[in-house]
Amino acid sequence: MPPPAPPPPARPGQAFTIAALLGRSSPPPAPPPPPTPPLPPLPHWGAPPGPLCAACCGPPPAWAARLGATGFLLSKCCFPIFKTKAGKAKRVRTIFTSDQLARLEKEFARQQYMVGTERCLLASALHLTEEQVKVWFQNRRIKWRKQSLEQQQAKLAKMGEGETMDGEGRK
């Protein structure tokens, strides 16, 4: 039996391709894709701000130079995407004291809806705004409904289990 033919000489970088290992000739590699055109530069990216931004934003802060920042910060005035929505500012979460919570819970147990003069008086007594009292009552009603629903479901589940058992606790 004649010795196997030596594999064709491999081109650099292709010595361990499947085709080279099997001794097959491989098709020429596909030409590289054409380079993509450069994207248009973003405003303020590595360039001084334009007159509009310089007028409203002023020069970059001193700390940017200390950090070696070459570009400019993205500002809310020049990039509408970063602007906050017009209208009401986001409400800050209130941290109630234990005394305030105790009084609010007591009033909720007495009546679930606090309106008008009563809400104004309660807010004043607790050093809160009427809005804070109103939101607390709204949230507490949601919590109460959720707890009531869970209790009803637990009772129904318990009743369902009792019906499947016979008098001696067997199914």
- CATH classification of the domain holding 121: 1.10.10.60
The pLDDT value given to residue 87: 77
The pLDDT value given to residue 77: 54
By C-alpha distance, which of 102, 111, 106, 112 is closest to 145?
112
Residue 67 has pLDDT above 80, yes or no: no
By C-alpha distance, which of 136, 89, 84 is closest to 113?
136
The HSE-up count of residue 49 (CA atoms within 13 Å, CB side) is: 18
Domain presence at residue 3? no
The pLDDT value given to residue 143: 97
Domain presence at residue 166? no
Domain presence at residue 123? yes
Of residues 48 and 1, more confidently modeled = 1
Domain presence at residue 6? no
pTM summary value: 0.44
| pLDDT classification of 19: cutoffs 50, 70, 90 | confident
Number of folded domains that form the chain? 1
Residue 90's domain comprises 18-160
Structure tokens at 70: 């070459």
Domain presence at residue 171? no
For the ranges 24-33, 77-86, 140-149, the lowest mean pLDDT is seen at 77-86
The helix/strand/coil state of 63 is helix
Domain presence at residue 167? no
Domain presence at residue 136? yes
| pLDDT classification of 44: cutoffs 50, 70, 90 | very low
